Structure 1
Amino acid sequence: MNAQMAEKILTGKGFIAALDQSGGSTPKALRQYGIEENEYNGDAEMFDMIHQMRSRIIKSPAFTGDKVVGAILFEMTMDRDIDGIPTADYLWNQKSVVPFLKIDKGLEAEENGVQLMKPMPELDALLDRAVAKNIFGTKERSVINAANEAGIKAIVEQQFEIGRQVSAKGLMPILEPEVNITIADKAEAEAILRDELLKGLDAITEGQVMLKVSLPTVENFYKPLVDHPRVMKVVALSGGYSRDEANTLLSKQSGMIASFSRGLTEGLNAKQSETDFDNLLTGAVDGIHAASVAG
């Protein structure tokens, strides 16, 4: 594990940018960026356009390691270059931003109120590629849609199982058991989740993990996770909240930082001039950074 990158995540005053929309969510991300589906033909052009969008964000003067400590990449972004430099190397060497990789392959159908991750038979090979590409860590997402103890227990067990596979390769896992922010029993689901995460953390005998969670219903509810010696950092997803809502909620959480996706790119548009684009991104970065360091 790269010690300088680890130090940046541990001590850097900033947030993690989630630039990891995958195949299923890419058309939606492009629509929000002002590019309609009739403006590209097929997956190849679609992924070219999303890479142009991500490259524009990363290359912007607003996007630097002063306020953005890390960035989560989609596999295809890791495999591509920015100005002839592999994306992960560009992030770290040009921007002082620590590169992470999204590794999950999407979600299973709901069972017991949750959606587990789909099987990842090629995970070892992907992790080896990530190591070769100078990636620091990984992120894998599953979703909780109800306060179902059996389901949440299964989600957490799967997250830690994948996390162990990631750690064995010398990478830092971000475990992401997202709680759906729209469910009626969100607070109850969070209580079960916190208990299960603490059990999983207590069982770790060496090393650390990171956690990515939905912003909690109860202020500072995840502080025991933030303070746990087996946790490097707890980061929050915006989860469907607007950027302003997410920033307000995050600023009340002690020790948590942002890892926003839509919350970061909200309002950015392919048709904007570089000046307008950079100004809007600067406002987004400044606001998310302020909320991340407020706690």
Structure 2
Amino acid sequence: MNVKLLIDTVIQQTTVLVAQLATTAGIRAPLAHVANQVFLDLANELETQGGTRKVAADMFGLALRSYQLKIQRLSESLTDRERSLWEAVLDFIRAQKVVRRAEVLTRFADDDEASVKGILRDLVESGLVFQTGRGQKTSYRAASDEEIEQIVAGENHDSLAMLLWIAVYRSGPVSFEQLGPMTGAGKEELEDALVQLLDEGRIIEDERGDELLYRADTCFIPMDEAAGWEAAVFDHFNAMVTALCVKLRQLRLKTLPSDVVGGSTYSFDVPEGHPHEDEVLALLRETRERVSALRQKVSDYNDEHGRDDEAPRKVTFYFGQSVVE
């Protein structure tokens, strides 16, 4: 197996996904921290899987001392990340009571004008900035904290709750300390989301000795749930990565018909009017209906007979479909 080639192609495709997420709906999410965060997360994961720091340093092509210094430097500087142009424009507007478009363009004269104008449009559409006037008389005012809170409070909280629900379901029983790195949420945000999920009966508290753990017996996010979009993307990506990692840990590089861990990918060339067009396009809907019905049967049986916590086994089945024209 050519591991280096596989790693290179996986990273390339992952960057495509990150770039798409960063620009979704016209938003320009800050990415200045990504390279350093990837290095830190990868270094931590190598150690978690049993590798020593010397081995990890060799894998990165660094001397042990240089590797240790880089880990220390990045860990200390993560809270002071470089600002993106998007953040800089927003901070400039916030520092003024009212600012004209010409003043913004002058302040950021060294940056691409089209990018600055695009960011101004994004800020207005997102509700972070209010716009008055037209043309040369266009002016901007930053939304107050109270105004922003009214716009995003419910949306962000519900999105985190959905993400947290999936994390608890997939990884539970799990402690509060373990949930932070899984979701990237702060302590207060995490506590609020946990309280909401507990009140709604979506997750359960388990006391095991002196430790308080959380678990979820079920997790279902409706397709039309607006706040579940981030959670659905995370869940699908996590399921795919988990399946690949389990397969790799088994050291079985060949696929057999009797395998219960793995995946398959099929592509179809079906131009409009193809005799099998409807059959191919229906794969997603039909698979979703079949799996939903099966999940309901399993859930009904488990509710009637109880869970076997002594010998738990969770099977995750993921699927997806894209149409590129």
TM-score by length of 1: 0.26
Greater relative contact order (CA < 8 Å, ≥ 6 in sequence): 1
Higher strand share: 1
Larger Rg: 2
